[in-house]
């Protein structure tokens, strides 16, 4: 058994380099707690295998009169090799291994809607401006402020990534502005940040025509972006911003088909045109089944305004066409019908969207908090219901199935993991329990 890295080297090699921050001060949870462990040799591996002991895993539900009243857990030893879980073994508290100290192991979290490329985070505090009421106002405002924001956008993207990691996410789907003001620079700056963070964080990118494809004449830039390592073609309110639903949607659909990409469209607009956009997309995806499972509508507030019968019809069609909905779980008078979407098998995902920027300043960086908000908003308060809400943060991976059978982790699963200070998933969701460590592709990064 040989020490993998000294504690100092580990911290140097980790991407969480927030010197002097609170992050650093609590990053020691995975230090080896061994009587013979040298202060300088805190992290242990055997050859290529990383071993964790005292790892808490959920093993089943406790029942009383047929109701789930608690979650059973036990301690295990985990072996991780390269980017996978190699073995889950009975716990050996005396093993020379990294001590997880009884913390609960969960799948690492995923932020599925964020704008890493334009943020005030990492710079001075600034609230949203009152004059920016509509999406059109925001477009005009962005045309003024983006040239300045681009000067710091790589650094600030890295800061947001560190915030996401601190809250247990090792993956994000980031929209990135493609418009004549930023041209392709927002994309290039973000790709540089992701390159700098590639050992500790992964992302997929959406080419996002924030100023309207036709409204701002962004077609050529979008076509170029499609060849630059992005994963999804974005869109924005095709009727309200571009003034022609079919023309705008057809551009997005054709670009995605030509380059074998997915689709993720920001749809804020409601009313008749909002609904027509949803139905048009469903029809097009059904005609082009290669888009099933990789087409998404972000926000899609129009669903919050439909009467139940129409909602059931649309939700069923979305489920059948495998079109996902990405919601930031808005409060106020726009309550998204997430329980109905789940009922029809729609892939529901969440993200922080804005952390601190000119759109809003409320993103905490935690998708576990989004799961908590969902639980509060829809009244999911029992042990079983709370435990199910975790799937919003982990993108549908749950340690226990609905009957309490252990389904995660299994040998061979990806070693993208978090350790949280909670006794079970239900508590983690309800208390937004603190994340104590993050493993990305088998490596401790926080």
Is there binding between residue 353 and Zn ion (CB under 5 A)? yes
Please report how close the Cβ of residue 371 comes to Zn ion at its closest, in angstroms.
19
What are phi and psi for residue 149, nearest 5 degrees?
A: -65, -30
Q: Do the beta carbons of residue 116 and residue 330 sit within 8 Å?
A: no
Dihedral of CA atoms 350, 188, 151, 353 in degrees, nearest 10, equals -10
**C-beta closer to Zn ion: residue 176 or 424:** 176
Burial track 56-75 (b if 16+ CB lie within 10 A, e otherwise): bbbebbeeeeeebeebebeb
Q: How far is the CB of 370 from Zn ion (least distance, A)?
A: 14
Minimum distance, C-beta of residue 323 to Zn ion, in the bound complex (Å):
17
| Interface region with Zn ion, contact rule CB under 5 A, candidates 54-62, 151-159, 267-275, 351-359 | 351-359
By CB under 5 A, how many residues form the interface with Zn ion?
1
Contact 75, 56 (CB under 8 A): yes
Q: Which stretch binds Zn ion (CB under 5 A): 8-16, 212-220, 248-256, 353-361?
A: 353-361
Tokens coding 340: 């109905």
Question: Which sign, positive or negative, has the C-alpha torsion 128, 134, 139, 144?
Answer: negative
Q: How far is the CB of 159 from Zn ion (least distance, A)?
A: 19
Please check whether residue 282 is in contact with residue 267, taking contact to mean a CB–CB distance below 8 angstroms: no
Of 234 and 442, which has the nearer Cβ to Zn ion? 234
CA distances for 409 relative to 104, 405, 417, angstroms: 12, 12, 10
Half-sphere exposure of 59 (CA within 13 A, CB side): 9
Nearer Cβ to Zn ion, position 298 or 423? 298
- Compare residues 242 and 353 and give the one whose CB is closer to Zn ion: 353
> Least distance from C-beta 328 to Zn ion, angstroms?
8
Closest CB 354 distance from Zn ion, rounded Å: 7
How far is residue 427's CA from residue 161's CA, in Å, rounded to a whole number? 25
Q: Among the candidate windows 20-28, 65-73, 345-353, 408-416, which touches Zn ion by CB under 5 A? A: 345-353
Choice between 154 and 298, CB closer to Zn ion: 298
- Complete DSSP assignment for 285-324: HHHSGGGTTSEEEEE-GGGGGS-HHHHHHHHHHHHHTTEE
For Zn ion, the closer CB: 261 or 440 = 261
Q: x/- site string to Zn ion, residues 407 to 426, per CB under 5 A?
A: --------------------
Q: Which stretch binds Zn ion (CB under 5 A): 254-262, 350-358, 369-377, 419-427?
A: 350-358
Alpha carbon distance 158, 255 (integer Å) = 29
Select from 81-89, 218-226, 346-354, 374-382 the region that touches Zn ion (CB under 5 A): 346-354
Is the bond into 335 cis (omega within 30 degrees of 0)?
Answer: no
Based on CB atoms, which residue is closest to Zn ion, 149 or 397?
149
* C-alpha–C-alpha distance, residues 160 and 329, integer Å: 20
Question: Shortest Cβ distance from residue 114 to Zn ion (Å)?
Answer: 8
Any idea what the Cα angle at residue 118 is, between residues 112 and 119, rounded to 5°? 90
Contact pattern for Zn ion over residues 243 through 262, marking x by CB under 5 A: --------------------
Cβ proximity to Zn ion, 142 vs 353, nearer residue: 353
Q: Is 52 helix (H, G, I), strand (E, B) or coil?
A: strand
Neighbours of 180 (CB within 10 A): 12
Closest distance to Zn ion from the beta carbon of 234 (Å): 9
Q: Nearer to Zn ion by C-beta: 112 or 323?
A: 112
Task: Give the integer Cα–Cα distance in Å for 154 and 164.
Answer: 16
Binding segment for Zn ion (CB under 5 A), chosen from 130-138, 275-283, 352-360, 367-375, is: 352-360
Q: State the nearest-atom distance from the C-beta of 183 to Zn ion, in Å.
A: 20
Residue whose C-beta lies closest to Zn ion: 353
For the chain, give the longest Cα–Cα distance.
70
Q: Toward Zn ion, which CB reaches closer, 353 or 383? A: 353
For Zn ion, the binding residues (CB under 5 A) are 353
């Amino acid at each position: 058994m040989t020490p993998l890295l000294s504690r100092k080297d580990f911290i140097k090699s980790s991407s969480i380099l927030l010197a002097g921050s609170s992050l650093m001060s609590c990053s020691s949870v995975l230090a080896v707690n061994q009587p013979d462990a040298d202060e300088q040799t805190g992290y242990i591996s055997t050859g290529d295998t990383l071993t964790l002991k005292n790892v808490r895993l959920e093993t089943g539900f406790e029942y009383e009169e047929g109701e789930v009243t608690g979650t059973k857990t036990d301690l295990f030893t985990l072996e991780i090799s390269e980017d996978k879980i190699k073995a889950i073994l009975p716990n050996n508290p005396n093993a020379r291994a990294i001590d997880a100290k009884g913390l609960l192991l969960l799948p690492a979290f995923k932020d599925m809607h964020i704008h890493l490329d334009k943020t005030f985070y990492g710079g001075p505090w600034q609230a949203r401006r009152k004059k920016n009421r509509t999406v059109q106002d925001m477009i005009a405002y962005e045309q003024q402020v983006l040239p300045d924001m681009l000067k710091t956008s790589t650094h600030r993207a890295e800061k947001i990534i560190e915030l996401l990691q601190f809250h247990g996410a090792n993956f994000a789907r980031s929209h990135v502005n493609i418009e004549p003001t930023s041209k392709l620079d927002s994309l290039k700056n973000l790709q540089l940040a992701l390159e700098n963070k590639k050992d500790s964080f992964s992302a997929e990118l959406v080419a996002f025509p924030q100023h309207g494809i036709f409204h701002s004449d962004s077609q050529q830039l979008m076509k170029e972006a499609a060849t630059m390592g992005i994963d999804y073609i974005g869109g924005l309110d095709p009727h309200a911003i571009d003034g022609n639903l079919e023309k705008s949607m057809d551009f997005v659909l054709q670009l995605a088909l030509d380059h074998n990409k997915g689709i993720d469209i920001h749809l804020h607009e409601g009313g008749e045109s909002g609904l027509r956009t949803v139905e048009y997309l469903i029809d097009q995806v059904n005609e082009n089944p290669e888009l099933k499972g990789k087409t998404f509508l972000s926000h899609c507030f129009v669903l919050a305004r439909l009467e139940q019968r129409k909602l059931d019809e649309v939700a069923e069609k979305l489920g059948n066409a495998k079109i996902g909905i990405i919601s930031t779980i808005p409060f106020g008078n726009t309550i998204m019908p997430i329980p109905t979407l789940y009922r029809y098998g729609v892939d529901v995902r969440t993200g922080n969207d804005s952390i601190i920027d000119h759109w809003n300043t409320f993103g905490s960086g935690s998708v576990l908090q989004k799961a908590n908000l969902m639980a509060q908003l829809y009244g999911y308060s029992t042990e079983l219901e709370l435990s199910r809400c975790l799937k919003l943060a982990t993108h549908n991976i749950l340690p226990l199935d609905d009957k309490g059978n252990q389904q995660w982790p299994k040998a061979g699963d990806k070693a993208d993991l978090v350790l949280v200070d909670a006794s079970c998933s239900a508590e983690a969701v309800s208390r937004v329990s603190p994340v104590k460590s993050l493993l990305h592709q088998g490596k401790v990064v926080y």
